[in-house]
Structure 1
Amino acid sequence: MVVTAKKIDVRSLTLETLEKHFAELGEKNFRAKQVYSWLWEKSVSDFDQMSNLSKDLRNKLKELFTINAAKIHISQFSNDRTIKNTFKLYDENLIEGVLIPAPERMTACVSSQVGCSLTCKFCATGYMERKRNLNPDEIYDQVVLLDQQAKLNYNHPLTNIVYMGMGEPLLNYANVMKSIERITAEDGLNMAAKRITVSTAGIAKMIKKLGDDQVKFNLALSLHAANDKKRNEIMPINEQNSLKALAEALKYYFSKTKNPVTYEYILFDNFNDSLEDAAELAAFCKHLPCKVNIIEYNPISFADFINTQEAKTDAFAAYLKKQGINVNIRRSRGKDIDAACGQLAVKQQ
């Protein structure tokens, strides 16, 4: 029986490692640089597209390597112009990502895991099984495909990227960091780090690691309650990462990066929407420079929560503003196609 050697995922290699492979093939270093440029700057997904390489070399590359490119499987268009995409990965797993157009920005919401392990009670993804982490190139591919979609449908490139799709980015730390490195690199997509926001449900030790790594991108914390009892109820991760632990980690992060933090706060009717809740949130906000995004809840079939009343939302925001806190009220986008915050859960096959 002949055993065929498994092909190497070429995008898992650094430029230096790729150069070593090319040396073994008897090829010059600059050929590896050309391939690296095709992969990361020009975002090609087929060796035959690398037109400045000889056909012989392209055939050699196809024998040794593979490009495990993600592809758009299904796209759904919302009445508000939001586009939700189901991406198919090389191993047939499916993930979702969303393109969110607005008058002054074009945002890609990308996933970092297939499913999620955190079981937040209000989030559809939390009811899925976490199958695996995404590789850096699979996160990068979502950005490339959403950018292409933005240009095709709205004649506008991406301006912002949010890691707010399926999964917990800080539980896939190394791969998320590598994806951001490729997205921001001059020999990558060359996007500014300040245009990228990574959202976490709150893992204290990893927030400190972001500080140690002195990251340049923005950090958002999905808070949703500034009271441990309530937060434990809706976000089980809080039992190991209490508000006190998170506050300490965030202060450490700010001391290292000088980056203010965004708190995401979904208002649930008669759960976390009182002025007493607003006072607890205001107290939590005193730990470091921050802003608060108040988010409309998007109901899911798995949970009994409902969105709070508009008057309560306005009163909650007004209270925070009186405390000197920078507050935005975010209206949902893509609700009619289950593309809004907390609604991502692969349904179509």
Structure 2
Amino acid sequence: MEKKKKDIRALSKKQLQEFFVEQGDKSFRGSQVYEWLWHKGAHSFEGMTNISKTTRTMLTDNFVINHIRVDRMQRSNDGTIKNAVKLHDNLTVESVLIPTPTRTTACVSSQVGCSLDCQFCATARLKRMRNLNPDEIYDQVMAIDNESRLYFDRPLSNIVFMGMGEPLMNYNNVMKAVEKITSEDGLGMSPKRITISTSGVPKMIKKLADDETKIKLAVSLHAATDAVRTKIMPFNETFPLQDLREALEYWYSKTKSRITYEYIVWKGINDTREDALALVKFCNYVPCKVNLIEYNPIDDGEFQQAASKATDMYQKTLERNGITVTVRRSRGKDIDAACGQLANKSAS
């Protein structure tokens, strides 16, 4: 019976160095392989050209590189690119490249499916199959960095964990991926260019603050009263706004980093002046800014974008109360790449 090979990217640099010493080789060989795996994004041992054929064969006999594969790439009329990413076990996730004249942002997934139950999100309708491993998250970023260089002649500038899944429900793997992305051994990106977007898991927001990460925090809020929020995001019953508020106050006290609230205004759900004033009150607890996001329908018509006058009312109400607000138009809608639309429609 053939022995089960280990995933080589589950090893730290130190463990790789120790492995080579055990094989009677020099420890620096482990550093060379580590650089190939992470900094150069090698898909196979055969591609590691500065390592002897004998060593490459030995690695092939003992390890696998569970690299992702971009199964399908779609390009939107606005330049947005969506990748359907095939994982080593044939499951699929999606990631998105969002270009603007000044930056290129990667929107990456952290779970196959999602742990939460937001009623307006296509991903939430997929059952959560599993968490992504750190290397699978890293590979999505690497693939988008390569696409950014190829199609826009510049490296990736920002990363948002706003793809499939709730990143704080896959905390350890997400943080290990961030560590690799920001490491000089990896992509060397500044943590200040990385944003974790959460639907609001209070305990994990506090942990994120305690771990003294320099990354930014965004909260998918969408309602500032428990009655409305629980209706559209049922898990709010478990994590009510009072708990979320306390966690965000804790976050700010530890990090001094202001929070971004993502907020969609829907027709007949949260489009009244009372809803807008509730948001103002919630915004006053912690320094923040608000992104009013255009809604991207997911086929059933239950949720519909509010009239533009409702969005204007929100914007004016927030601005009158000294709150920074931006109205964000969706990107990549024609290829189902916009917020809330990632649902593996491209998967067979």
Q: Which residue of 1 aligns with 2:101?
A: 103
2:286 matched to 1:288?
A: yes
RMSD: 0.9
TM-score normalized with structure 1 length: 0.98
Aligned partner of 2:312 among 284, 304, 314: 314
Q: Aligned partners of 2:97, 2:266: CA distance in 1, in Å?
A: 25
Q: Which residue of 2 aligns with 1:244?
A: 242
Which residue identity is paired with 1:343? Q
Q: Aligned partners of 1:222, 1:291: CA distance in 2, in Å?
A: 12
Q: Which residue of 2 aligns with 1:60?
A: 58
The SS at the match of 1:162 is strand
Q: Which residue of 2 aligns with 1:343?
A: 341
| Native 8 Å contact 1:122 1:303 kept in 2 | no
Number of residue pairs aligned between Structure 1 and Structure 2: 347
Q: Which residue of 2 aligns with 1:48?
A: 46
Post-superposition Cα deviations, 1:168-219, rounded to whole Å, max 9, x if no partner, equal 0000000000000000011110001111101001101000000110110000
| Native 8 Å contact 1:121 1:303 kept in 2 | no
Aligned partner of 2:89 among 78, 88, 91: 91
The SS at the match of 1:48 is coil
Q: Aligned partners of 2:165, 2:225: CA distance in 1, in Å?
A: 24
Identity %: 56
Post-superposition Cα deviations, 1:82-104, rounded to whole Å, max 9, x if no partner, equal 11110000110000001111111
Q: Aligned partners of 1:154, 1:304: CA distance in 2, in Å?
A: 38
2:138 matched to 1:179?
A: no
The SS at the match of 1:186 is coil
Aligned partner of 2:33 among 32, 35, 38: 35
Q: Which residue of 1 aligns with 2:134?
A: 136
Which residue identity is paired with 2:52? S
| Native 8 Å contact 1:202 1:237 kept in 2 | no
Post-superposition Cα deviations, 1:274-296, rounded to whole Å, max 9, x if no partner, equal 22111100100111111100001
- Provide closer, same or farther for how the CA distance between residues 343 and 258 of structure 1 changes in structure 2, counting only shifts above 3 A: same
**1:303 Cα deviation after fit:** 5.1
- Provide closer, same or farther for how the CA distance between residues 303 and 111 of structure 1 changes in structure 2, counting only shifts above 3 A: farther
Q: Aligned partners of 2:25, 2:343: CA distance in 1, in Å?
A: 45
The SS at the match of 2:266 is coil
Q: Which residue of 2 aligns with 1:326?
A: 324
| Native 8 Å contact 1:298 1:341 kept in 2 | yes
Q: Aligned partners of 1:200, 1:119: CA distance in 2, in Å?
A: 13
Q: Aligned partners of 1:186, 1:21: CA distance in 2, in Å?
A: 22
Q: Which residue of 1 aligns with 2:5?
A: 7
Which residue identity is paired with 1:76? Q
Q: Which residue of 2 aligns with 1:161?
A: 159
The SS at the match of 2:46 is helix
Which residue identity is paired with 2:253? S
Q: Aligned partners of 1:322, 1:338: CA distance in 2, in Å?
A: 35
Which residue identity is paired with 1:195? R
Q: Which residue of 2 aligns with 1:270?
A: 268
Q: Aligned partners of 1:12, 1:282: CA distance in 2, in Å?
A: 45
Unaligned runs of 5+ in 2: none
**1:302 Cα deviation after fit:** 4.1
Q: Aligned partners of 1:26, 1:328: CA distance in 2, in Å?
A: 59
**1:117 Cα deviation after fit:** 2.1
Structure 1 ranges of 4+ moved more than 3 A: none
| Native 8 Å contact 1:207 1:253 kept in 2 | yes
| Native 8 Å contact 2:115 2:169 kept in 1 | no
The SS at the match of 1:122 is coil
| Native 8 Å contact 1:202 1:221 kept in 2 | yes
Post-superposition Cα deviations, 1:214-269, rounded to whole Å, max 9, x if no partner, equal 11000000000000010000111211111000000111111111111111001111
Question: Which deviates more, 185-194 or 14-23?
Answer: 14-23
Q: Aligned partners of 2:345, 2:209: CA distance in 1, in Å?
A: 37
Which residue identity is paired with 2:187? L
| Native 8 Å contact 1:201 1:237 kept in 2 | no
Q: Which residue of 1 aligns with 2:251?
A: 253
Q: Aligned partners of 1:302, 1:62: CA distance in 2, in Å?
A: 49
Q: Aligned partners of 1:278, 1:298: CA distance in 2, in Å?
A: 21
Q: Which residue of 2 aligns with 1:114?
A: 112
Q: Aligned partners of 2:205, 2:66: CA distance in 1, in Å?
A: 30
Which residue identity is paired with 1:301? D
| Native 8 Å contact 2:265 2:310 kept in 1 | no
